[in-house]
Each structure stands twice: as structure tokens, then as C-alpha cells.
Structure 1
Amino acid sequence: MVHHHPFVSGIDHMDRQPLKRPEALADVIGKHTQVERVLCGHLHRSIQARFANTLAISCPGVSHQVSLDLTPNGPSSFQLEPPVTCCTTGRRLTVW
């Protein structure tokens, strides 16, 4: 579990603050096939992406969600959305 996301989310202002050296994390995870998921926060939104032969999942924020604005240089804003569940492969990871 890491705070910053190791993948490109498409939310421009958040992608300017990624995990430092995600390739180093990918090298470590690539050597350990028992790693089933990489969990992260920071994005305040549920997003899933392939990463290092596994799935990286960004769990939603508990206070607010970052707006899903995928335009280049989109504004930094948030939404007060209802609680969501972060799930993978039918197993519940977290409920907010």
C-alpha cells in the first residue's frame, strides 16, 4: 500500500504528484508473484490500472472525491459524492 498512485490516472493536476520512481516499485513487485494488488490513495477516487503484472487500485477519499476531469490542465476541484465501495475480484477491500 502506497499513498501516491504509481500509474497515470488522466486527472492532470493529480498526475503531477505521482509516486516517485514507480519503475522501482514495479521492479520489486515484478519479482514477487504473490503480490495480488497495489493499493493507493491520493486520488480521492476509485480508479484501477494495470501495474507491474498486477492491478493497482486507488481507493476513494473518505471526505470528498477529486473531480473526474480528464482534460489537459483541468482545474483542481472536488465533489461531495455518496460513499462508495472499492472492490476487486469479488472481494471487498474497503467500504467508505
Structure 2
Amino acid sequence: VFTHFPPFDTGLRFMDRAGLIEAGRLRAVIENHPQVKLLSCGHLHRPIQTIIGTALVTTCPSTGNQLNLALHSERADAVNEPPAYQLHWWDGGRFVTHTGVVRNPDSIRTVDLSDYATEVRRRHEAGEAHTKAPLGN
């Protein structure tokens, strides 16, 4: 299963706030369907893994800037780390996921995302939607 928003919190607060509404519904579907072996997500600009039910859940790194690994911080930055990608290989019984880094990218830059994080926090605290959409919409 491939989806943009991961159905779990990561500790990257500003991204968790802009995540999937009703994430528990997707988690329940995955938990109740053991034939699902992999849930591959985006959104977080970092490689992160967890397990839901019997499925590996992985978020892909960004092919642009990565996000700073600042758990439980209100600060949001894209950091000077190289673009990366994931390749998922099915061997007939399981997935094997490889994470690759783009060597010598033409441009790697650090970007201050504090204005974006402030707006996400403001909307979250006001009960307003941001980039979130209910599951199925």
C-alpha cells in the first residue's frame, strides 16, 4: 500500500500536525489485513520505520531536502543532507527495502521552515485544516 500521509505520529511535531486526519482508521485496516506486508508513505522528508499489525511501515526520504531530525521540537528546518530515495523489492514472500542517497547533487541547501511550522501550529491550535484531508476524500 502506498500513501502520502503516514498513519502514525513521528515526534516531528509540525509534520505530525499536518498529517492524516483519522489515521486510526487506516491503521485499523492495516492491522486487520495481515496480507498487507508494506505500507510506504511520504510527507516526512526523512526515512522512518515502524510496524503496524504485521506490516512494515516506512516513510521515504525526500528527493529534495531532508527535514531536521528534531524530535518534539517546535522548530522546523530542511537540512543540508543529500536527496535520497527508497527501492522496494518483492522476493515473492516479503519486501526488502533499500534506501539510497543521491551522490554529489547539484544543489543541497538549508531552508528555514519556521514560518511554515508556525502556520501549521496556528491552524492546528485553531482547529483549522491545513493540508490534511479525511481518509477517503
TM-score range, shorter chain: 0.7 to 0.9
Matched ranges for 1:34-49 at <5 A:
34-49=35-50
Matched ranges for 1:1-96 at <5 A:
1-73=2-74, 75-84=75-84, 86=86, 91-92=96-97, 95=100
Does the 8 A contact of 2:34 with 2:53 survive in 1?
no
Q: Is the radius of gyration larger for structure 1 or structure 2?
A: 2
TM-score relative to the length of structure 2: 0.59
With 21-30 and 76-85 compared, the bigger mean Cα shift is at 76-85
TM-superposition CA deviations, 1:15-44 (whole Å, max 9, x none):
111212121112222232111111100000
TM-score relative to the length of structure 1: 0.80
Percent identity of equivalent pairs: 34
Unaligned 5+ segments in structure 2 are 89-93, 103-137
Q: Which residue is 2:128 aligned to?
A: none
Does the 8 A contact of 1:85 with 1:92 survive in 2?
no
**Aligned pairs, how many?**
95
Bigger helix fraction: 2
> 2:34 is aligned with what amino acid?
T
Does the 8 A contact of 2:62 with 2:85 survive in 1?
no
Unaligned 5+ segments in structure 1 are none
